[in-house]
Copies of this chain bind each other. A is one copy, B any other.
Amino acid sequence: MVYYLGLVGIAAFSITGVIAAGKKDMDIFSIVLLGVATALGGGTIRDIIIDANPIFWIADLSYLWVSVGAAVLSFFGVKFVRYVLPLLLYVDALGLSLFTVLATEKTISLGFSNTVAVLMGVTTGIAGGMIRDILTGRMPLLLGREFYATPALLGAILFIILEHFFPLHEFNRVYAIGIIFVLRAFAIQWKLYYPSWLTYVDRK
Contact with B along A148-183 (1 / 0, CB 8 A): 111001000000000000000000000000000000
A1 within 8 A of B: no
Chain B residues in 8 Å Cβ range of A115: 61, 64
Q: Is A10 interfacial (CB 8 A cutoff)? A: no
Q: Are B49 and A55 in contact (CB under 8 A)?
A: yes
Assess A22 versus B202: contact at CB under 8 Å? Given A27-B147, A55-B49. yes
**With known contacts A58-B50, A135-B140, A27–B75 Cβ distance under 8 A:** no
Given the interface contacts A30-B148, A33-B149, A135-B130, does A24 sit within 8 Å of B116 by beta carbon?
Answer: no
Closest chain B residue to A24, Cβ basis:
B143
Instruction: Give residues of chain A (17-46) contacting chain B, Cβ–Cβ below 8 Å.
Output: 18, 21-31, 33-34, 36, 44
A113 within 8 A of B: yes
Instruction: Give complex CA distance A193, B30 in Å.
Output: 12
Q: Is A201 touching B25 in the complex (CB atoms < 8 A)?
A: yes
A145 to chain B, nearest CB (A): 5
State A172–B137 Cα separation when bound (angstroms): 37
Contact between A21 and B200 (Cβ–Cβ < 8 Å)?
yes
Is there an interface contact between B58 and A116, defined as CB atoms closer than 8 Å?
Answer: yes
Can you list, as one digit per residue, whether each of A50-61 has a CB less than 8 Å from chain B (1) or not (0)?
110111001001
The answer for the CA separation of A61 and B119 in the assembled complex, in Å, is 11
A27 in contact with B135 (CB, 8 Å) = no
A68 smallest CB distance to B (angstroms) = 10
Given A18-B200, A79-B200, A113-B61, A145-B29 contact (CB < 8 Å): no
- Cβ of A188 under 8 Å from chain B: no
* Cβ < 8 Å to B, chain A residues 101-128: 112-113, 115-116, 119, 122, 126
Cβ of A199 under 8 Å from chain B: yes
Would A202 and B143 count as touching, CB distance under 8 A? no
For this complex, 5 residue pairs linking A to B, each with C-beta atoms less than 8 Å apart, are A25-B201, A27-B144, A29-B149, A58-B116, A135-B140
